Copies of this chain bind each other. A is one copy, B any other.
């Protein structure tokens, strides 16, 4: 039984389809990586689409084949970054539970791992994506909402475990927002302004200590006890 040229066994179909899919995603990631690096280094506005295409070694048209427009590039980038960031923090809470140790480990994961491994991503989320119009802002808000949601959830579980209440109705939310504010500005300050990445581990320890103190100060003895 000779195999003709036209015969398409399921294996062939899935093979080529899979290869297509793989190449497709690879291209996407290549373009996204090129754009991320350029946005971080040169700035979102000063980076032209042609430069991105060149850096990714594709044509301008290819970039537009995979991404609706320049803004979409940034949004998709934020998607990835948001996911990565969430996983970093989430992993810490999973390993150490919703305890004060979990909060510490989450902070270490951010400063020791995320900031050190992905300074470009830090630049994108804390610098280049700021003030870039409604769509990007929406995505930024969504990412921060998810992050604050995660932290708030851990916070509530921690408070239950410790048998404490929050000092006020906004306390839990303010804590989560404050934590993210500290992450953001401390990272920004030392990575972009002081360019002192080598001490980031030590600095992270202090920031985390600050956070822990902050949290505890908004916990209060459970009155119902």
Contacts and interface: CB of A to CB of B under 8 A. Distances in A.
A161 interface: no
Contact of A130 (B131, B133, B199, B206): B131
A4 B5 CA distance: 9
A103 B210 CA distance: 15
Nearest to A210: B214
Contacts of A189: 144, 177
Nearest to A133: B43
A48 interface: no
B205 A213 contact: no
Given A209-B217, A216-B213, A181 B185 contact: yes
Nearest to A2: B5
A175 B169 CA distance: 25
Contact of A210 (B43, B144, B215): B215
Interface of A is mostly: helix
A178 interface: yes
Contacts of A178: 181-182, 185-186, 207, 210-211
A23 to B, nearest CB: 15
Interface residues of A, number: 50
A212 interface: yes
A128 interface: yes
Contact of A185 (B167, B180, B205, B211): B180
A212 B174 CA distance: 14
A144 B178 CA distance: 18
A81 interface: no
Nearest to A46: B133
15 contacts: A4-B5, A127-B130, A168-B205, A170-B203, A171-B209, A174-B203, A174-B207, A177-B185, A178-B207, A209-B217, A209-B218, A210-B215, A213-B214, A213-B215, A214-B217
Given A178-B182, A211-B214, 17 more contacts: A44-B131, A127-B131, A141-B193, A144-B189, A174-B203, A174-B207, A177-B189, A178-B186, A178-B207, A181-B181, A181-B183, A181-B184, A181-B186, A184-B184, A185-B185, A206-B218, A209-B214
